[in-house]
Amino acid sequence: MARTKTSFRCTACGRQELKWLGQCQGCGEWNTLVEVAPAAASARPGARPGARPAARPVRALEVQTLREARFTTGLGELDRVLGGGLVPGSSVLLGGDPGIGKSTLMLQVCAGMARPEAPVLYATGEESLEQVRARAVRLGLPLDGLQLLAETDVEALAGALQAGSFRAVVFDSVQTLRCPDIPSAPGSVGQVRESAARLAEVARARGQPIFLIGQVTKEGTLAGPRMLEHMVDTVLYFEADPGRSLRVVRAHKNRFGPVSEIGVFEMTGQGLVVVDNPSRAFLQDRPARACGSAVLAMLRGTRPLLVEVQALVSSSVYAQPRRTAWGCDPNRVALLAAVLERRAGLQLAGCDLFLNVAGGLELDEPAADLAICAAILSSQADRPIHPRLAVFGEVGLAGEVRAVPAAEARAQEALRLGYARVLLPAGCLEQLHAPRGLEPTGIASLDRLAELALEDR
């Protein structure tokens, strides 16, 4: 007899249970059991052999190559993050804090892609059709080719996808979707997982790209499950620097492109506007001649960017001084502080150290080391860094400054923004075909950092 009750499957070992348990009885992991629909449960591995026809593999040479190339979303910055445009049949999850502008971005994308002969569907479970239309009118978006649907039932939505021929489909948001055969409430782990899986399957089969909008929890993970990230092809995060209008879209996972690219937007009354000169935007609030502020020439994907790295060194009231960092790895900061103490004679014992990357960007490349060191040094010495100086380079445990890739591109970006003086690893000097006006200075070891980077008193 067919099973009609919902069951639960461990995401770690695949064991099936008939009731929810905090700990899996199979592998002992905690909180790994998720609800699965009856149909999915009966298709578990180990089901009676012979009940279904055996699957037939095909030769890779016989598989048809995808005919249609990627297409543009109408927003160049988003295309860049997607790896050069949207892939037909792909599923993209867009996560971000409440109110950051996810619906705005997706509505602009819909309007950018929609053609009267190839409409785009925007399905909403959070707002009414009137609210969505009002937003589109406020943003001045063309309405032809844009179809709206207020629906949360996944079966009905899958039916709409199959009945229509859409260039792309947006679901706002994945937390409101519900599969009628799963009894739990919308937004629960089982509902979110199953809804996303079913819609992604239909999209793949029909070659229609879909966007799923998702909320981010306070812990910073996409509400509902991390496992949702495995089900979709691309996961994008939409982030903001608190209190500022800059928005950054970055790929967390991408099956069709790199994850290193970022797209920078500004939220305005007319919606999200592409920021043509992100370096200028990231540096616009930088105070002149401030101690503890260094300009880093970083590389994000293929794009060089100038960002401000700020450090504050202050005497500590704690027995164990603090090492706190926003926008970069605190362990890396602690390591660089130790190297500065040993190799550059800096006195940091008994001092709290705070580090911040302005603009809400994350530094994830070793080339940021030298700028972090320069900012700490400047704060500790209470001397500003030379005006119009940009810095980059990796720092080793012996205090040596190591070469990093793309020195030329970084230096060019610095010069473009008026940072004519560039402090870079000595090993990079040879590869640098210094453009006119650039004043590069090579540094081989941290013990010369104060002399080369700080202004004289």
**Contact positions vs Mg ion (CB under 5 A):** 103
Asked if 176 touches ligand ATP (CB under 6 A), the answer is no
Ranges within 135-154 binding ligand ATP (CB under 6 A) = 138
- Judged by CB under 6 A, the residue of 17, 29, 126, 394 near ligand ATP is 126
- Minimum CB distance to ligand ATP smaller for 8 or for 171: 171
Q: Given candidates 267, 273, 274, 434, which one binds ligand ATP under the rule CB under 6 A?
A: 267
| E strands present in 316-438 | 323-326, 351-357, 389-391, 394-395, 401-402, 421-425
Nearer to Mg ion, 172 or 400 (CB): 172
Taking CB under 6 A as the binding criterion, the range among 99-107, 112-120, 163-171, 338-346 that sits at the site for ligand ATP is 99-107
Angle between the N-to-C axes of helices 330-343 and 369-381, in degrees from 0 to 180, rounded to the nearest 10: 60
Q: Find all residues with CB under 8 Å of 200, minimum gap 6, and list them.
A: 91, 210, 231, 232, 233
Among 88, 95, 101, 359, binds ligand ATP (CB under 6 A): 101
96 scored as a contact of ligand ATP (CB under 6 A): yes
Q: What is the DSSP letter of 396?
A: -
Evaluate whether 124 touches 107 at the Cβ level (below 8 Å): no
| 327 contacts 357 by C-beta, under 8 angstroms | yes
Pick the piece of the chain touching ligand ATP (CB under 6 A) from 100-108, 157-165, 367-375, 428-436.
Answer: 100-108
**Which of 267/452 has CB closer to ligand ATP?**
267
Look up residue 274 and give its amino acid. Answer: V
Quick one: three-class SS letters along 130-156? HHHHHHHHHCCCCCCCEEEEECCEHHH
Q: Would you say 132 or 395 has its CB closer to Mg ion?
A: 132
Residue 421: how many CA atoms within 13 Å on its side-chain side? 14
Query: Least separation, in Å, of the C-beta of 353 and ligand ATP?
Result: 34
Question: Which of residues 24, 36, 100, 325 is near ligand ATP by CB under 6 A?
Answer: 100
Distance CA 91, CA 330 (A): 34
Number of residues that bind ligand ATP (CB under 6 A): 13
257 touches, from ligand ATP, Mg ion, none (C-beta below 5 to 8 Å by class): none
Nearer to Mg ion, 103 or 379 (CB): 103
- Closest CB to Mg ion belongs to which residue? 103
Query: Three-class SS of residue 274?
Result: strand
User: Per rule CB under 6 A, is residue 274 in the interface with ligand ATP?
Assistant: no
Taking the C-alpha atoms of residue 306 and residue 302, their distance in angstroms, rounded to an integer, is 13
Residue 99: contacted member of ligand ATP, Mg ion, none (CB under 5 to 8 Å, by partner type): ligand ATP
Closest CB 269 distance from ligand ATP, rounded Å = 4
Burial degree of 392 (CB within 10 A; 0-12, 13-18, 19+): buried
Contact 171, 211 (CB under 8 A): yes
Q: Which is nearer to Mg ion, 174 or 309 (CB)?
A: 174
DSSP 174-235: GGG-B-TT--SPTTSHHHHHHHHHHHHHHHHHHT--EEEEEEB-TTSSBSS-TTHHHHSSEE
- Nearest approach in angstroms of CB 180 to ligand ATP is 24
By CB under 6 A, residue 99 contacts ligand ATP: yes
d(CA 229, CA 227): 5
Q: Does 104 bind ligand ATP (CB under 6 A)?
A: yes
Q: Which is nearer to ligand ATP, 49 or 98 (CB)?
A: 98
Binding flags for ligand ATP, 192-231, as an x/- string (CB under 6 A): -----------------------x----------------
Check binding of 269 to ligand ATP (CB under 6 A). Answer: yes
CA atoms within 13 A on the CB side of 444: 1
Rounded to a whole number of angstroms, the minimum distance from the CB of residue 303 to ligand ATP is 25
Give the residues lining the site for ligand ATP (CB under 6 A). 96, 98-104, 126, 138, 215, 267, 269
